């Protein structure tokens, strides 16, 4: 039988009830301590009630300096795990797989929230020193926060922080851990020659630039149970065709290495490394060809993102073998019940369990 949007997806011993995943989307709604709040429980829980198969948290910092803003979610202590546990429990109770994205913002850290201008924060303004592969700050119009090139000890510490965050995430009740190596954040900064100018074993040739991503994936996989899946989100291209940069061909090659490291799915996005990026033909499915290319070139399942807004469109991605998951972001902000509405539109009501509290409306 041909898989479709409402086919289940089994990865290791976990089974998603359908092929819709809520994309990780930063909410910038913590206090300055990185602890989850009622906002996160309601935001993520309502998408689980809405029928999605996998509900992913926003980028969740593995250490304090890995936050994008002071209001980012964190998982660097047991207190953070305890705050997230009710979120994971509620998502699971609604039939979705609770998933967490583990992240470090690198040189894109220490700035205000988008609705406060995304402006760089200095230490005397509540900001902090940022770290990156090389001491090249994000090209802000204003004064960027202090930045330092990472030492080998820093790199080892970040790898350990991802592993510790995975262990805490497991204790909190999450079923899937995703390594964030996309969108110009720390791990992507190592991958791309745009931001990695190192001359040691973490810079230069492809094998060196990808080393930390392999090490983090290995460490998370070792910390995560064998029966639960690990995802990795990547930017398939830097969208900088006129510069030496990260390409789709690089991503296919990396995906093969990630499979060897124990990754179970590649969550394929694009861009974010530099503001000069040029997005070709943004519109419906505009990033799907990258996921399709990686799926064809490796043995790994993939998730596709980018302008997925319509039920038939999401269904076609799976039916046509272009992706294994439809990763839906902004449409889930507009419609928390996207999956339930998609089932009605696609004639699949008999394959969706509406919450009993809502069945009078079906």
Domains of the chain: 9-361 (3.20.20.70)
Q: How confident is the model at residue 279 (pLDDT cuts 50, 70, 90)?
A: very high
Q: How confident is the model at residue 299 (pLDDT cuts 50, 70, 90)?
A: confident
d(C-alpha 216, C-alpha 179), whole Å: 8
CB 345 within 8 A of CB 312: yes
**What pTM did the predictor assign?**
0.97
Other CB atoms within a 10 A radius of the CB of residue 156 amount to: 13
H-run or E-run covering 180: strand 176-181
Q: How confident is the model at residue 319 (pLDDT cuts 50, 70, 90)?
A: very high
Q: How confident is the model at residue 303 (pLDDT cuts 50, 70, 90)?
A: very high
Q: How confident is the model at residue 1 (pLDDT cuts 50, 70, 90)?
A: low
User: Residues 28, 140, 185, 337: which is the catalytic one?
Assistant: 185
**What does the mean pLDDT of the chain come to?**
96
Q: How confident is the model at residue 239 (pLDDT cuts 50, 70, 90)?
A: very high
Q: How confident is the model at residue 361 (pLDDT cuts 50, 70, 90)?
A: confident
Looking at residue 136, what is its pLDDT? 94
337 is catalytic: no
If you count them, how many residues does the chain have? 362
d(C-alpha 278, C-alpha 283), whole Å: 14
Judged against a pLDDT cut of 80, whether residue 141 lies above it is answered with no
């Amino acid at each position: 039988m041909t898989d479709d949007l409402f086919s289940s997806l089994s990865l290791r011993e976990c089974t998603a009830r359908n092929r819709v995943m809520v994309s990780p989307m930063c909410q910038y709604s913590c206090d300055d301590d990185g602890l989850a709040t009622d906002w996160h429980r309601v935001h993520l829980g309502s998408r689980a009630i809405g029928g999605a198969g996998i509900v992913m948290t926003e980028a969740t910092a593995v250490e304090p300096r890995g936050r994008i803003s002071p209001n980012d979610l964190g998982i660097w202590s047991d207190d953070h795990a305890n705050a997230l546990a009710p979120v994971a429990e509620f998502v699971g109770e609604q039939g979705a797989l609770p998933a967490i994205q583990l992240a470090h913002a690198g040189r894109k850290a220490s700035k205000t929230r988008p609705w406060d201008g995304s402006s760089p924060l200095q230490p005397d303004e509540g900001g902090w020193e940022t770290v990156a592969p090389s001491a090249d700050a994000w090209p802000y119009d204003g004064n960027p926060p202090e930045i330092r090139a990472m030492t080998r000890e820093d790199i080892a510490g970040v790898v350990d922080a991802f592993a510790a965050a995975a262990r805490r995430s497991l204790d909190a009740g999450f079923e899937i851990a995703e390594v964030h190596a996309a969108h110009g954040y720390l791990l992507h900064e190592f991958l791309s020659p745009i931001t990695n100018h190192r001359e040691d074993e973490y810079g230069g040739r492809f094998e060196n630039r990808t080393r930390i991503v392999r090490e983090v994936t290995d460490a998370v996989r070792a910390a995560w149970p064998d029966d639960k899946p690990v995802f990795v989100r990547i930017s398939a291209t830097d969208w900088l065709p006129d510069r030496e940069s990260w390409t789709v061909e690089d991503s296919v090659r990396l995906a093969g290495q990630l499979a060897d490291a124990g990754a179970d799915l590649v969550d394929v996005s694009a861009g974010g490394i530099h503001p000069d990026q040029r997005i070709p033909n943004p519109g419906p499915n505009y990033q799907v060809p990258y996921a399709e290319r990686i799926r064809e070139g490796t043995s790994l399942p993939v998730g596709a993102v980018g302008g997925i807004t319509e039920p038939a469109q999401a269904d076609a991605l799976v039916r046509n073998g272009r992706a294994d998951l439809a990763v839906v972001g902004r449409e889930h902000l507009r419609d928390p019940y996207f999956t339930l509405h998609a089932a009605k539109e696609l004639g699949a009501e008999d394959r969706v369990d509406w919450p009993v509290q809502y069945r009078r409306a079906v």
